[in-house]
Amino acid sequence: RPLRARTSSFGRAGGSLAVALTPPPSPGDSGKVSTVVATPGQGPERPQEVSYSDIKVIGNGSFGVVYQARLANSGELVAIKKVLQDKRFKNRELQIMRKLDHCNIVRLRYFFYSSGEKKDEVYLNLVLDFVPETVYRVARHFTKAKQPIPVIYVKVYMYQLFRSLAYIHSQGVCHRDIKPQNLLVDPDTAVLKLCDFGSAKQLVQGEPNVSYICSRYYRAPELIFGATDYTSNIDIWSAGCVLAELLLGQPIFPGDSGVDQLVEIIKVLGTPTREQIREMNPNYTEFKFPQIKAHPWLKVFKPRTPLEAVSLCSRLLEYTPATRLSPLEACANAFFDELREPSARLPSGRDLPPLFNFSAVELAIQPSLNTSLIPPHLRAQSTLLGCAPGTPATHGECWRSGAACCAGGPGLSPPSTHILMHPQRRGWEHPFPACWEQGVEPGRWPRHADCSFPMQALTGASQHRGTARDPSPMRPEGLGGAGLGGRPPPHPMDLSEL
């Protein structure tokens, strides 16, 4: 019989009303089924019963405890992160995780509250995707075997990390604790998911932040200099440290203390100039440092390290925060070109994990990079955007399946509602999926005569024509009328512009 939890309400501390399990999960009860009333991580705030079993501890630290459990309804494994909650404040990690939705970020499935052993002690429980390994443990496996980690894994892992950073930074979120231990990976598929947003913060310009943040080996120099007005570029520095560590087989800056950490950095980058110090923290410009020359990057790494990898490290590990590459600039770097080859595979022979299922949100971050980010063989297939729920997109699989995930307007049914939101233009355009199905030349706005698309709710068949250089607009009513607010497309699109 399922263990029916005694419940109590803890109001809205940290989020919406949630009802909790008492007592909290215990490894001694691993065979029992526990049932709680939890709130979904995304979507409407509709608490629902969630049952799970097979509970065991898989991690702990200053933040709390992490359990592994199995959902009763699906049999899926999940991780439950249990942290002590101060009822006076909203939990920042919960607030941030509820707004994030990306394939390279661990997903918040549910959350609920539980009471502790002490009176008025309340714990927040985050039910997350379970991913079995970390980049840290994978790298340690190769180090113990006295082997370098295969470069293809370095590329696949780092690419996905940069993609996750591009997304969270576009949402105004800085992770502030990027390190190999917080990069979850599936050893079979090589899918990477960024986890542990316990230190993350929505950065606001002009609002001070604590500088004592981020694990020491991965701490950006501006943090060591005590900056409180830093940007998300501290994550880029940390990512550069992770890349260097994977290439070296050990941390690149293994400082024993905060000051020693800066010494380790200076050994490689040399003494920062007065201007570089000013960019990191203006209060330190008069501080005197011993003058040390930079160590050549090629001599930092082993002789067979790919030159593109060395070059990428040098662009990430810059003293001046603003000169570091952006996450998407890193993704577009030549070091990752191998991943964009149609023949690229994992060492096991398996396909690479999804790397190019970009959402409209991602493609709107730096539109000028989109041509570099989308491999030519995928551009030619008009498979341009990933299919995130509720996101307008033109993904080939969506056209073929008629999936509703990209539906663009209320009252319309797929596939006629697969609407493309052009990342570089405002307004809507309709690519007529059936035309793409029939292999109309990519980059052209097909003529009505080229396809047998059932117009269904659409009208204006005579306007279904032209090319990217034919500015003839379709009538608003041809795009579902009120369903899209009567907004006409600006003009037909040229896929090559993406």
Confirm whether 120 is a catalytic residue. Answer: no
Alpha-carbon gap, residue 152 to 345, rounded angstroms: 9
DSSP track, 371-436: HHHS-HHHHTTT--S---TT-----HHHHHHT-GGGB-STT--TTTTB-B--TTSSS-B---HHHH
Task: Please indicate if the annotation marks 193 as binding a ligand.
Answer: no
Please report which residue ranges of 62-134 form alpha helices under DSSP H. 92-99
- 474-479 long-range contacts, Cβ below 8 Å, gap at least 24? 474/430, 478/430, 479/419, 479/428, 479/430
Could you tell me where the beta strands, DSSP code E, fall in 87-218?
108-115, 122-129, 133-134, 173-174, 183-185, 192-194, 201-202
Please report which residue ranges of 105-232 form alpha helices under DSSP H. 135-144, 151-170, 221-224
Contacts of 415 (CB under 8 A, 6+ apart): 398, 399, 402, 433, 434
User: Which one from 29, 101, 177, 470 is the annotated catalytic residue?
Assistant: 177
Could you tell me where the beta strands, DSSP code E, fall in 20-100?
34-40, 48-61, 64-71, 77-85
Q: Residue 316 corresponds to which amino acid? A: L
Going 75 to 79 to 85 to 87, the CA torsion angle's sign is negative
3-state secondary structure of 370: helix
Look up residue 85 and give its DSSP letter.
E
Q: Does residue 23 have a cis peptide bond before it, meaning omega lies within 30 degrees of 0?
A: yes
Q: Which residue has the tokens 């994990």?
A: 353
Cα separations (Å) of 326 from 92, 163, 223, 337? 25, 10, 19, 17
Q: Residue 337 corresponds to which amino acid? A: D
Going 191 to 139 to 306 to 233, the CA torsion angle's sign is positive
Residues annotated as binding site?
Answer: 82
Residues annotated as binding site for ATP?
Answer: 82
Active site residues: 177
